[in-house]
């Protein structure tokens, strides 16, 4: 009887697998000897160099002086070392807003003085915001506030527990007019913290250093708070302010140290002898969340083609419909794709595929959407919403030329239906801008204003209300950086406020990714979004 059961189970698995591979494989080779392809390859190497150079500068934080003060004088761990201790040893890590804060009007603020990322703690995805005290003492700039609010939006959209590693001197006071007063300024983070806790999204804080002024509300509003002996302090005003206001001399520890808050005020719940112990306590708190852990499928097929081809494709000036199929064939499991309405609305490709074994609905445009394209897009989104299939939008406006004899009223009406369809859908949505995205394509293709679960970008993209500068102009700027010796030389990439680098600097996207990592990043985004958004 047992043998029959095993045989039946195997048959079911084989049947399921045969269904998986029943999608047709896309057959799109690249001619590497084509002169245009060789030119694109040269451009792609420039892209790769720029991403590596900028990433290296950002991850150095406040530089040698800031690191020496933080580690040697203050005896504290660097922010990225803290994250390594907090997350599982083999956890994936999706960093949010790596390029935020570069070439702002008020200077370079690497990673906006806060490292934000998503990883696993005891197998459960959590989002962590960690102040980098090597950068201006971890103080909050306007872009820092924007980045932290985006962190909380991601926590809300993906139902992720929030963990705050606090080590900040509070707001950068010369810019306080741009940090405090408005609805989406600093105070909003505390509102979000309270509301998310009330709807079951856990809030945990670890005070590794200073938590001063308005920032003192973060750990005190958390559900659980850990504080580190000696280095962790919480107060609205420090000893100098107390001295000036009352004439009383008081030490930091007596005013707001770990022992005081754990034994007298009750603002913190756990007293840690060291940072290492504090992160272990935080990990233990995650264990008590009593949340189900989602596991993605264990087996899947790799694409038939090399993912390095995506870096090459990103170096092309224009992307046509064939290029979109090439991209799909490098992203999807086994390069297999079930296309929906292939002969209707030919400027929009829609269909089903698997990424790391997870079923996803793909939408990729290659020109301005006609009324047929938008009608098809709305139809496809509604199907995916009913079947609980997450969506992935690949933005590429192409030449952005409207079809001849296209009816403007019909087009506008159908585009509005497509916008409504994805705005009202309950399924996870991931958007990747891979080339130019112009005019209302940013609406129909689930742009930043429509709060996709994740919004990412390839390096040389433009998002604009009108057709922006060609990619070749951006590439020509890159060629000037081959021998760049100083970070200031890279300001060329941030001059246009429609460019991917400028938007990433202002936290108008979640990050710029290397094209060859597209499949892995989308797969990780899907796994995160599905981990707490299962039916």
**What structural domains and CATH numbers belong to the chain?**
75-288 (3.90.226.10), 307-531 (3.90.226.10)
pTM of the model: 0.93
**Does residue 429 contact residue 453 with C-beta atoms inside 8 Å?**
yes
Confidence of residue 33 (pLDDT cuts 50, 70, 90): confident
Which range, of 40-49, 331-340, 405-414, 417-426, averages the lowest pLDDT?
A: 405-414
What value does the mean pLDDT of the chain take? 90
Residue 12 has pLDDT above 60, yes or no: no
Q: What is the pLDDT of residues 56-115, one digit of tens each?
A: 999 999 999 999 999 999 999 999 999 999 999 999 999 999 999 999 999 999 999 999
Task: Give burial (CB, 10 Å; 0-12/13-18/19+) of 267.
Answer: buried
Which range, of 20-29, 66-75, 144-153, 455-464, averages the lowest pLDDT?
A: 20-29
What is the pLDDT, as a whole number, of residue 179? 87
- Distance (Å, whole) CA 169 – CA 30: 53
**Does residue 128 contact residue 163 with C-beta atoms inside 8 Å?**
yes
Which range, of 299-308, 385-394, 422-431, 487-496, averages the lowest pLDDT?
A: 487-496
More confident residue, 463 or 364: 364
What separation in angstroms does the CA of 353 have from each of 22, 273, 383, 385? 11, 50, 14, 15
- Distance (Å, whole) CA 491 – CA 501: 10
- Distance (Å, whole) CA 359 – CA 300: 11
Which residues pair with residue 228 across a beta bridge?
A: 272
With the C-alpha atoms ordered 110, 112, 114, 120, is the resulting torsion angle positive or negative? negative
What is the pLDDT, as a whole number, of residue 251? 93
Residue 164 has pLDDT above 60, yes or no: yes
More confident residue, 408 or 484: 484
Confidence of residue 186 (pLDDT cuts 50, 70, 90): confident
What is the pLDDT, as a whole number, of residue 5? 37
Q: What is the pLDDT of residues 213-254, one digit of tens each?
A: 888 999 999 999 999 999 999 999 889 989 899 999 999 999
What is the pLDDT, as a whole number, of residue 4? 37
């Amino acid at each position: 009887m047992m043998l029959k059961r095993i045989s039946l189970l195997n048959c079911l698995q084989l049947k399921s697998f045969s269904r998986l591979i029943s999608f047709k494989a896309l057959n799109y080779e690249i001619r590497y000897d084509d002169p245009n392809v060789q030119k694109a390859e040269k451009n792609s190497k420039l892209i790769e160099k720029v991403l590596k150079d900028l990433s290296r500068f950002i991850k150095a934080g406040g530089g040698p002086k800031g690191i020496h003060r933080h580690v040697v004088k203050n005896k504290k761990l660097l922010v990225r070392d803290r994250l390594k201790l907090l997350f599982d040893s083999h956890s994936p890590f999706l960093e949010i807003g790596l390029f935020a804060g570069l070439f702002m009007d008020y200077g370079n603020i690497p990673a906006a003085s806060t490292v934000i990322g998503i990883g696993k703690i005891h197998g459960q995805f959590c989002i962590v915001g960690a102040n980098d005290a090597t950068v201006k003492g971890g103080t909050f700039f306007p872009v820092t506030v924007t980045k932290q609010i985006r962190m909380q939006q991601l926590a809300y959209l993906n139902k992720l527990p929030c963990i705050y590693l606090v080590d900040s001197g509070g707001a950068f006071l010369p810019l306080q007019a741009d940090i405090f007063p408005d609805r989406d300024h600093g105070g909003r983070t505390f509102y979000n913290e309270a509301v998310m806790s009330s709807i079951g999204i856990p809030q945990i804080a670890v005070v590794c250093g200073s938590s001063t002024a308005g920032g003192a509300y973060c750990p005190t509003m958390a559900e659980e708070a850990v504080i580190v002996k000696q280095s962790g302090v919480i107060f609205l005003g420090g000893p100098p302010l107390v001295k000036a206001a009352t004439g009383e001399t008081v030490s930091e520890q007596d005013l707001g140290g770990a022992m005081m808050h754990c034994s007298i005020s009750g603002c913190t719940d756990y007293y840690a002898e060291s940072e290492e112990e504090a992160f272990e306590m935080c990990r233990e708190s995650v264990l008590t969340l009593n949340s189900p852990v989602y596991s993605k499928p264990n087996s899947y097929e790799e694409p038939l083609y090399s993912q390095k081809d995506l870096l090459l494709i990103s170096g092309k000036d224009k992307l046509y419909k064939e290029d979109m199929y090439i991209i799909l064939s490098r992203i999807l499991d086994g390069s297999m794709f079930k296309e929906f309405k292939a002969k209707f609305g030919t400027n929009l490709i829609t269909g089903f595929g698997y990424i790391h074994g997870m079923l996803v609905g793909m939408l990729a445009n290659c020109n301005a959407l006609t009324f047929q394209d938008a009608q098809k897009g709305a139809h496809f989104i509604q199907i995916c919403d009913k079947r609980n299939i997450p969506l992935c939008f690949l933005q590429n406006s192409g030449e952005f030329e409207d079809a001849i004899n296209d009816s403007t009223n019909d087009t506008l009406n159908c585009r509005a239906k497509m916008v409504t369809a994805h705005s009202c859908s309950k399924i996870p949505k991931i958007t990747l801008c891979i080339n130019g995205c112009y005019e209302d394509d940013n609406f129909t293709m689930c742009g930043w204003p429509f709060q996709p679960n994740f919004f990412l970008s390839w390096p040389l993209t433009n998002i604009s209300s009108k057709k922006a500068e060609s990619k070749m102009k951006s590439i020509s700027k890159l060629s000037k950086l081959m021998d760049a010796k100083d970070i200031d030389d890279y300001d060329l990439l941030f001059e246009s406020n429609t460019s991917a680098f400028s938007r990433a600097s202002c936290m108008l996207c979640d990050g710029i990714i290397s094209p060859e990592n597209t499949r892995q990043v989308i797969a990780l985004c899907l796994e995160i979004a599905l981990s707490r958004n299962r039916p």
